[in-house]
Chains A and B, each alone.
Chain A
């Protein structure tokens, strides 16, 4: 390693990088924590290194250090970052400014948020190029249009005149890649560039990014938590955990012959074997021909949707964003009264509007949300949060309530000690568990789970799914499980409804829905789920029967 400075073809050489931040825990003096512990890596020109790990592993922090950037108070306190033969940490603020947007460019997770809503796309795409004076405006715009073409954006000549809100999420992500490539940098940091996209859109963006990297010979740090995705684009993969290096090797070696236990845990498929239950005689909740729209809009978000839910079973609703999954949940709970159709519960029709429903009906239908953080009052303790339904629905108070809260905490595999904690003191998985306990406290017949594992790391999500299945056995509660993730569906569902543009396109028991022959959309959905296989991307693109809607 010592002579690597002299090695030709070496672009980035990070040595013993140490990154710290100051945290301000409530009620305690501020303290320093180390986010990255002496991590070293090298990257050759034109190569792609995948950085992978769960949240808090330090992957984004390491990626951004190649631009000398620390998000919100994060400081680089040790080591060297050698880019093109010089230690950029010694260059100071002016040095950073000169390399950002010229030698190293950045592609953010959410392009929708990363583009300035006030400026046209073209102005933003060529901004860095003009700032660093590497081309005239005309040249830069010509280059941008060529990149738009390469990234197969529609109307490459005119898309630059649009504002960010006029372009879809998948397209914006590609425009952002074009923006990074426009100033012809040596290195691009891709920070979870496809994570916020639907699977069917992700595959196109991934292919576009891969082609662009290949054709422009740019090097890249590709940051993601999804091994199957990174396996498609990287030459090498580095596995990180808690800011430390776990394993670093060629892509094939990491996914086929992982040497570390942690890598193995990430690589192995986490399918839960869940035997399908046959639907019983009578469903306790039936959605019949429901049509719904927001406001007085003519655009129907739900079109003639009918599904049944059986006691103690799980109906999974799958589809991409905008397909009407969450709207279905809102129609069932009464938050969005349907325009037509009925929801029957226990043989009697439920009132359309939430305000007209009985307290007993409200108790029987509970919800858990994707964002556990914002679904809880940050100023209430876990005990208060879980105890609230007990007081509200059953009038249980005082010691009896505390006893029930302790039991519920036990059910979600968290100790009694958590009762006095505040949500901010919990991890993402723990927060979601508290939300599960809160919904269970009402002893409902149905819990609607809206993307409950989507914001969690794979291993944590796995734990939540196992817990949900366990609780279903114990409490005989039914789930309406909304997700865009097909692996999750396989693990938990008894029956499946596939939704596309407000309609149920495929519905039935899991074994039937997931067995061929497929309709075109289900086929697209299934074939878009990344597999941990080198070369999967090319195969999947070739084998597709329909284009994804997000493009």
Chain B
């Protein structure tokens, strides 16, 4: 690895950290602007002015906002996400298990969806404008166009109710055997796969088709390579940067956008946790989850940027 690459990568990472700080300010500011008072929310309507004032003092709500921000940020950086108001539990502890569950679900959905989308994209290019291409595009678009709750309920109806292959409610618990766990997440993972498949597949197809116009693709054809090898060996490596970008966007969606699917399948992940606490107006939890989601989004996009830099031979091997 040479210095221009290291420099570019360092720039991207630094930019990501800056962005994350900016997001943390926004999240903090956003929750401060919301109407209502935390102390009031905790103590309820019947609280006396004295107890309210006491609690405010205790929570540090009388301090200026910027001090509270730095206090909060300091806590976040040392792993202290604060305490949930509704339950009084430590947020970091309750999030840990749920984040793990969400990552587990997203991981298995991605393991299926990403290779499937890329292979389908390659096949669509190979048979471009033919019926295979149209069938793949049509099905993928249809699965994306349906809202995820609809897909979720259709899956539940067939696989859980009618044929009873997979459970309709994805309960998982600590120490659950791997096989059972996989069976539990089969339906939500399928729903997620169907949702993100089309976007990645269409982008793969478009990115490769763009490269297929190049003179070096003609060179490869004139060497006698088969159509599929031309795509795989000569077109795909040059289309990898845009593909990685869209894959990372969809991975981020798998982690932070699963709220609806988790609720449908009653899966104990981050999404459900967030929904529960939004309804309870539990500001510290919303802040913590918001920050984690932002961190996931930003780091996946940094990875995409870095991968695109590394995939470029001009940057990897300067003159």
Contacts and interface: CB of A to CB of B under 8 A. Distances in A.
Interface of A: 67, 69, 71, 96-102, 105-106, 108, 110, 113-119, 124, 127-128, 131-132, 162-163, 165-166
A99 B215 contact: no
B224 A114 contact: no
Contacts of B215: 108, 110, 113-114
Given A106-B219, A165-B313, A166-B317, A117 B224 contact: no
B156 to A, nearest CB: 45
Given A115-B219, A165-B317, 18 more contacts: A71-B218, A96-B224, A97-B224, A99-B224, A101-B222, A105-B222, A116-B216, A116-B238, A117-B313, A117-B314, A118-B237, A118-B313, A119-B234, A127-B220, A127-B225, A131-B224, A131-B225, A166-B317
B221 interface: yes
A99 B225 CA distance: 11
Contacts of B221: 69, 100
Nearest to A99: B224
Contacts, number: 72
Contacts of A71: 218
A101 B218 contact: no
Contacts of B314: 117, 163, 165
B216 A114 contact: yes
B213 to A, nearest CB: 9
Interface string B217-255: 011111111100000001001100000000000000000
B312 to A, nearest CB: 9
B218 A114 contact: yes
A97 B238 contact: no
Contacts of A99: 224
Nearest to B217: A116
A258 B216 CA distance: 38
A99 B221 CA distance: 11
B235 to A, nearest CB: 9
A115 B217 CA distance: 9
Contacts of A118: 234, 237-238, 313
B89 interface: no
A140 to B, nearest CB: 13
Nearest to B313: A163
A106 B225 contact: no
Nearest to B215: A113
B153 to A, nearest CB: 44
B222 A165 contact: no
B32 interface: no
Given A131-B224, A165-B313, A108 B218 contact: yes
Of B216, B218, B238, chain A has the most CB atoms within 10 Å of the CB of B216
28 contacts: A71-B218, A96-B224, A99-B224, A100-B223, A101-B222, A105-B222, A105-B223, A106-B219, A108-B218, A110-B215, A113-B214, A114-B216, A115-B219, A116-B216, A116-B219, A116-B234, A116-B237, A117-B216, A117-B313, A118-B234, A118-B313, A124-B219, A127-B220, A131-B223, A131-B225, A165-B314, A166-B317, A166-B319
Interface in B284-319: 313-314, 317, 319
A101 B218 CA distance: 12
B314 to A, nearest CB: 5
* Top-3 shortest CB links A-B: A101-B223, A100-B224, A113-B215
B183 to A, nearest CB: 41
A67 B222 contact: yes
Given A113-B214, A117-B313, A118-B237, A108 B224 contact: no
Given A119-B237, A165-B314, A165-B319, A114 B225 contact: no
A340 to B, nearest CB: 28
Of A105, A113, A116, A166, chain B has the most CB atoms within 10 Å of the CB of A116
B252 to A, nearest CB: 26
Given A119-B237, A165-B314, A165-B319, A106 B222 contact: yes
A516 B109 CA distance: 76
Of B214, B218, B226, chain A has the most CB atoms within 10 Å of the CB of B218
B216 A98 contact: no
Contacts of B317: 162-163, 165-166
Interface in B147-188: none
Contacts of B238: 116-118
Contacts of A96: 224
B216 A113 contact: yes
B222 A69 contact: yes
A296 to B, nearest CB: 16
Contacts of B226: 97
Of B219, B220, B237, B314, chain A has the most CB atoms within 10 Å of the CB of B219
B211 to A, nearest CB: 10
A71 B313 CA distance: 28
Given A163-B317, A165-B314, A132 B218 contact: no
A166 B315 CA distance: 11
Contacts of B218: 71, 108, 114
A69 B224 CA distance: 11
A127 B223 contact: yes
Nearest to A161: B317
A116 B238 CA distance: 8
A7 to B, nearest CB: 27
Contacts of A114: 215-216, 218-219
Contacts of A102: 224
A391 B221 CA distance: 50
A128 B216 contact: no
A117 B222 CA distance: 17
A132 B225 CA distance: 9
A115 to B, nearest CB: 6
A481 to B, nearest CB: 31
Given A113-B214, A115-B216, A163-B317, A128 B224 contact: yes
A99 B222 CA distance: 9
Nearest to A112: B215
A166 B316 CA distance: 11
Nearest to B316: A163
B242 to A, nearest CB: 14
Contacts of B225: 97, 101, 127, 131
Nearest to A118: B237
Nearest to B239: A118
A410 B174 CA distance: 86
A114 B213 CA distance: 11
A542 to B, nearest CB: 33
Contacts of B214: 113
Interface string B35-59: 0000000000000000000000000
B220 A116 contact: yes
Contacts of A131: 223-225
Contacts of A124: 219
Contacts of A110: 215
Contacts of B319: 165-166
A69 B218 CA distance: 10
